[in-house]
């Protein structure tokens, strides 16, 4: 996938509604096996909860999407949870909402709102990132050029990944695939042809969404 949104990190967030505890557990998952493994881990951890409802969306074009009510009335838990993931346009994301029943029934509408709210607030708590597939471009220069080149890179549209201080300096920058040639021209001019520029591996750049 060239660009997509997903969760920043694994985490959990708890809310209380009418004395029931709703704990949203959220994680990035890049395969259905990984998602199922996470769901099973939470179920074992919260084996004494009334429900461990789950939803996940994985892959480009949301090819894999599943929702499970885990004993709640049909369509009142897993589907509303999945809808939040769809609304946020998240990929490779799995969420489990653990419910400890507090004695007050919420009704179908109340459950739909509660599970949706639990996921929504959980996502806000762990954070969302935009992942963009980039090419890491490596530029080797002499130390005499470092100040000038580093300043220009930091104020450019090419995010700086890392600087390696070796016999010469190697500056790694993220460049979109279709802008590689443009970058090489820019860097060649910037270093007066003294920079040695090579293309590294493709890598995802993550930025807060």
Are the beta carbons of 37 and 54 closer than 8 angstroms? no
Residue 128's Cα: distance from chain center in Å? 6
* Of 19, 18, 38, 41, nearest in space to 28 by CA: 38
pLDDT top residue among 209 and 182: 182
Domain boundaries, the chain: 3-126, 132-208
CATH assignment of 132-208?
Answer: 3.30.70.240
pLDDT in tens, 156-198: 999 999 999 999 999 999 999 999 999 999 999 999 999 999 9
3-state helix, strand, coil in the chain (%, to 5): 35, 40, 25
Phi, psi (rounded to 5 degrees) for 134: -125, 165
- Per CATH, is 3-126 categorized as 3.40.50.1820? no
- Counting residues of the chain whose pLDDT is more than 90, the rounded percentage is 96
- The tokens for 21 are 């505890």
pTM of the full predicted structure? 0.86
Whether the predicted pLDDT of 62 surpasses 90: no
pLDDT (average), residues 95-123: 97
* Of 75, 90, 89, 83, nearest in space to 6 by CA: 90
């Amino acid at each position: 996938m060239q660009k997509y949104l997903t969760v920043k990190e694994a985490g959990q967030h708890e809310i209380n509604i009418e004395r029931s505890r709703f704990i949203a557990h959220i994680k990035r998952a890049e395969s259905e096996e990984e998602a199922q493994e996470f769901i099973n881990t939470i179920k074992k951890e919260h084996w004494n909860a009334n429900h461990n409802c789950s939803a996940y969306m994985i892959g480009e074009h949301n090819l894999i999407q599943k929702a499970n009510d885990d004993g709640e009335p049909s369509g009142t838990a897993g589907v509303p949870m999945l809808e939040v993931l769809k609304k946020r346009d998240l990929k490779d994301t799995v969420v489990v909402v653990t419910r400890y029943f507090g004695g007050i029934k919420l009704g179908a509408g109340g459950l739909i709102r509660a599970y949706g709210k639990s996921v929504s607030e959980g996502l806000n708590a762990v954070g969302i990132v935009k992942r963009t597939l980039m090419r890491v471009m490596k530029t080797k220069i002499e130390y005499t050029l470092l100040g000038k080149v580093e300043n220009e890179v930091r104020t450019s549209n090419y995010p700086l990944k890392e600087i390696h201080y070796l016999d010469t300096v190697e500056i790694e920058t993220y460049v979109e695939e279709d802008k590689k040639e443009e970058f090489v021209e820019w860097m060649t001019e910037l270093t007066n042809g003294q920079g040695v520029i090579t293309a590294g591996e493709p890598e995802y750049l993550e930025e807060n969404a």
